[in-house]
Amino acid sequence: MLRQAHRGETAALEELIGRHGTYLYGIARSLCGNEHDAEDLVQEVFVATLSAKFRGESSVRTWLVAILVRRAAMLRRSMSRQPLRMDSTGDVAKAPEPLASDAKVDLAVMLEALSPEHREIIVLRELQQMSYEEIALVLSIPRGTVESRLHRAREQLRLRFKNYFDV
């Protein structure tokens, strides 16, 4: 179906968008924190498939999410002159406030308190079930950095959602 889309068959492209577009948008929205950037990002992901090579080593969805995460990182670097919510190491400036257990929680809300680097790690590990090696390849970081970032991201989430846990 990817090949059909690249050959210009609109129906195949629409089918791909139908299968993966909503999921990709949800991920993009969680990574970007706003609708406008998320929409641009999703468009860029499908356009990027024209140049990127799908080797069939993962599912199409995982491949698309990997492209999306990379694009989000590029977008973030290009906007690096804007004031950042978090410092450059990805650590939060202060501990996130715990949410009340009856607060409405969607993925974007869950990840909004995290730094962009931590959101990427959580998306790739928890939602895409990628291994540490795969995450290291996608993000172009050492495996050790994957482990330490994941550890810190989860600690931030644990503090924020501790009221949701069964004791």
Partner 1 sequence: MCEHSDQIHAYHDGELSAPLRAKLEAHLAGCAECGRELNELRQMARLLVAAPMAQMPADLPARIVSSFENARRAKDSGIRKLAGWLNAAAAVILLAATVRMSGMMTRGTEKPAAEASTGLRDWELTAVMPPDRQVDDAGSADLIQVAQWMARDLSSNGDERR
| Contacts with partner 1, residue ranges (CB under 8 A) | 5-6, 8, 10, 13-14, 17-18, 21-23, 25-27, 29-30, 35, 38-39, 42-44, 46-47, 50-51, 105-110, 122, 125-127, 131-132, 147, 150-151, 154, 157-158, 161-162, 164-166
Q: What is residue 33's three-state secondary structure?
A: coil
CB of 81 to partner 1, least distance (A): 26
Residue 127, H or E segment: none
Q: Single out the residue of 40, 37, 45 nearest to residue 13, CA to CA.
A: 45
Q: How far is the CB of 63 from partner 1 (least distance, A)?
A: 16
Q: How far is the CB of 4 from partner 1 (least distance, A)?
A: 12
Q: Which two tokens stand for residue 153?
A: 């991201």
Please give the full DSSP string across 70-98, using - where no structure is assigned: HHHHHHHHHTTTSPPSS-TTS--SSPPPP
Cβ proximity to partner 1, 81 vs 165, nearer residue: 165
Cβ distance to partner 1 smaller for residue 88 or 106: 106
CB closer to partner 1 out of 48 and 81: 48
Q: Tokens 């690096």, residue?
A: 80
Residue 53 tokens read as 């090579």
Q: How far is the CB of 138 from partner 1 (least distance, A)?
A: 15
> Measured in Å, how far apart are the chain's first and last C-alpha atoms?
47
Name the residue nearer to partner 1 (CB basis): 26 or 98: 26
